[in-house]
Chain A
């Protein structure tokens, strides 16, 4: 529809593999977010790095739509890619918004997993953590939660353990290495809303700031006159800026590349929720398929840094 309407459109999210089957591999007007599976690829790499040889049985609890299904499939594909000896003992698929997860917790507990992979990300995430903590499910299992950062302020210390692999997507509000701009934004946001921003703020900033920069560049190229939509599109493709979460770019095929943050949780902070102790950042070029590639085939042959 975007291509039919010929209107420059920037998506800030919504690029699951099954959600955007490459019907239009080289769109002219559409600029899309990074692949949603970047988070799953990064957490797979970190889980292998931290815990290789320390887990065999794997359980999943993921939301029952393409995002959750693709993330779990990507995690398992990555384990196979690295020849990690593993056995998936249960896969739970609660509907988005399910608030009573006690039966899912019981099912996970019955499966006795060494590691639990979950891309729960809505209100059901803190609910799951509460119910899982109460059932002592989180006591011994290694936890890989690539999308947990969307609910970061609700992940209270009383039910969220330390040492859990926790993804903040493209903005970690407490990143000590953040740019002055990001620190200023976080401080302003905290003062204004009495809250701490998550990755949506970074995606929104990237979309607006890159558009602004493209308009300015296109205008400059036309000696200050207002650029056409085609001029802006040409300037936007290949553009790179410093977003709130770090380096961010538009590939020539109009797919975003951004900086992802994941690490292990700690209670050692002044908040009532968990933050990251050890954490790492990875750029999307290391985490998402190249232009035109099939995601699942790409995983089998890609060169990853573990």
Chain B
């Protein structure tokens, strides 16, 4: 039973981080119809900046207990990268997906060089942060409190995004723009501004996920690529552009991975893509996606 709980928590933790990245990806695609490969770079940027931000904040007397909120602030501050990148992406709105993929993949490569230039080739980590909040241990079950905080952050984000999109005027405008850009524009919606805000929100989700993960892991050059592959598996399973899909897809990928690692480690990656293939065959639009007319 303890082993099952350990595996379950490990899977949910992975799903929580995946959700934060995939939610940004979904939000941007849902509204702007942009397949943003650079979402993994936002995640890596958050991780690197999180290390630097906490290092400086600690020098200025930040209590170790405030590292978690400090990392949230670091991730949110990085939302500033959203507007200029969205401005660049305007050149590919409405064009073939291959232009979007090429441009956003170019961003991935450029970000990687920026990381190498600013932070160097060696991984960067926050060594003393992970265990600062302690661990919950009972017999064979053990989980760091930090992991639970990350899971709680993902749940809070999901609830907040859900409320923002369904219960606020801003959310209604965003959904209207996603549904029919021309009609929204005709009704007086400043679509450019909506695009900029949505992209910035998507970027902030990725950077915050990266900042939150860094105490448990390390910021490294290949983390952008590593995570974006799984994030796209989430998107395919959940349905492109669907927030509910991001949530369910993340849970499916996180849990499949965790149980595959225990039951048959060789199938860690295969297990995820078996689900992806099954979804593509049986429900091509994803579990919560809308079929293309």
Contacts and interface: CB of A to CB of B under 8 A. Distances in A.
Interface of A: 90-95, 97-100, 102-107, 109-110, 122-123, 126-127, 130-131, 133-136, 154, 156, 158-159
B130 A134 contact: yes
Contact of B222 (A91, A97, A130): A97
Interface residues of B, number: 39
Nearest to A137: B142
Contacts of B223: 97, 99
Interface in B229-243: none
Interface in B101-146: 122-123, 125, 127-128, 130-131, 135, 137, 140, 142-144
Interface of B: 3, 6-7, 9-11, 13-14, 17, 122-123, 125, 127-128, 130-131, 135, 137, 140, 142-144, 147, 213, 216-218, 220, 222-223, 226, 257-258, 261-262, 265-266, 268-269
Given A91-B265, A135-B142, A109 B218 contact: no
A91 to B, nearest CB: 7
A102 B13 contact: yes
Contact of B128 (A90, A92, A158): A158
A130 B11 CA distance: 17
A110 B3 contact: yes
A158 B127 CA distance: 9
B48 to A, nearest CB: 13
A11 to B, nearest CB: 21
A103 B142 contact: no
Nearest to A105: B10
Contacts of B11: 103
B222 A103 contact: no
B265 A100 contact: no
A134 B128 CA distance: 12
A110 B262 contact: yes
Contact of B125 (A105, A127, A133): A127
10 contacts: A93-B268, A97-B223, A106-B6, A106-B7, A107-B262, A126-B127, A127-B217, A134-B142, A135-B143, A154-B127
